[in-house]
Amino acid sequence: MPNKTVTLRDVAARARVSSTTASVVLGDRGPEFRIAADTIARVRAAAEHLGYQASGGRRHRNRTALWSVFVPSDVDVLPARTFLDGVSAYLEERQIAVTCALVVFERGHLRDKLRWMSPEVLGGAVLVGLDDDDVAFVEGGDVQIPVVLYNRTARNAPSVMVDELGVGHMAATHFLARGIDRFVVAGPKLVTSATSLRLAGFSGALVAAGGAFRPDTLLERIIVGDDQTLDTDRLVAASGRRGVFVLTDTVLPAVMAALDSVGTDVPASTEVISYGNGAISGLLRPSVTTATVPMHAMGEECAATLDRAVRQPRASWDARRVFQAEMVIRDSSPAVP
């Protein structure tokens, strides 16, 4: 192909492998990463067929002209893909010659992917869904490429954060505008900084609204166990029309099952708002309003932050971007008078 610049993506597509695998093979590191011999042969054959003849300098450029989005294995595929599409859209719009690939890791074991985080393999990475152990690994100094954290903070690394307080405030405002004066907050047993901030934003908005609101009498806290069980009686104990704020969509199925078990009419007698849209993708109901981050736009924002970190690593160490969530109101949610 003398009139066309052959890219790493072209080679990967012809060899039917990921761009990450193609990059590793063409960087002569296939055996180190335990890539099968037939896969190595297929990638090299594809590169030769397409005319991908990298000199020493070009081979280095193509090894590092690759970014990855690292996501935990328990993250839903659709939001992760939408996020990755946002990263790719940023690169394509600005004609940045970088390919982006998705890398899955086990939450809490990001360190197992350290060999992928080499300057010889990746030019940069966006890290999604990290727990405390993963953050400690990032702060430990072993990662030698620019990284951006999604909704977590770490020393010497930029972050793009969700406005969690704003999420809670938005949910409370939604309920108050519809005349709801009995509130339930449902969340998992494990409390995270994100769920704590959502609860604080929710409670703060109710207190700021004034009136007869008293958190100790009108706000019920429900804990959903690891086995997805909860106290249904407490969930439906309050008289009058209720608003249920589900702090994370991982416990939404349990909440909806409990409401269904006692014949609760949603949203006529109880309106439900859930944060996130992952777990409801398989049971989406027009009665559930969601507060969620537009993942495509978030992907673009993380890509822009990583781009700055790659070009000016030291200047980006303490960058903190705050990203707003949005409310997706279902048709059955009562309109504001």
Answer with the residue of higher pLDDT: 120 or 278. 120
- Using one digit for the tens of pLDDT, what is the confidence trace for 144-156? 899 999 988 888 8
Residue 69 phi/psi, 5° resolution? -105, 115
Structure tokens at 271: 């309106």
Residue 16 pLDDT = 87
Q: For residue 3, is pLDDT > 50?
A: no
Residue 5 phi/psi, 5° resolution? -75, 120
* 56-64 and 19-26 helices, crossing angle to 10°: 150
Confidence band of 306 (pLDDT split at 50, 70, 90): very high
Residue 281 pLDDT = 44
Q: For residue 49, is pLDDT > 50?
A: yes
Three-state DSSP state, 102: strand
